[in-house]
Structure 1
């Protein structure tokens, strides 16, 4: 039990004293970067999906 308590004390000490937390402005900038990247990736996946769907529909219409 002493090991478990010591572990949690060390975890608390690390989080409070040794971890550098971002400022509010840094956090907002990071969130904006993640949102923009997510939208760009989603648009790329959507474009690939539409293009493959169009290509396969054209291909199967030619076959049958």
Structure 2
């Protein structure tokens, strides 16, 4: 049990005294960049999926169904 308490104390000390935290304004800006990129990437994946789905449906309707 003493090992766990020591570990938590050392981890807290490391976070408090030795970690350089990103300023809030920069963190917010980066969060917006990540959110915008995620939305654009998800729309691109959705578009490719829609096109492939249509092509596969057309293939099965014309070639396999004939």
Superposition TM-score, scaled by structure 2 size: 0.85
Aligned runs of 1:1-64 on 2, under 5 Å?
A: 1-63=1-63, 64=65
For structure 1, the 5+ residue unaligned runs are: none
For structure 2, the 5+ residue unaligned runs are: none
Aligned length: 64
Using the TM superposition, give the Cα deviation of residue 2 of structure 1 relative to its aligned residue in structure 2, in angstroms. 2.2
Using the TM superposition, give the Cα deviation of residue 23 of structure 1 relative to its aligned residue in structure 2, in angstroms. 0.9
Distance in structure 2 (CA, Å) of the matches to 1:6 and 1:60: 64
Superposition TM-score, scaled by structure 1 size: 0.87
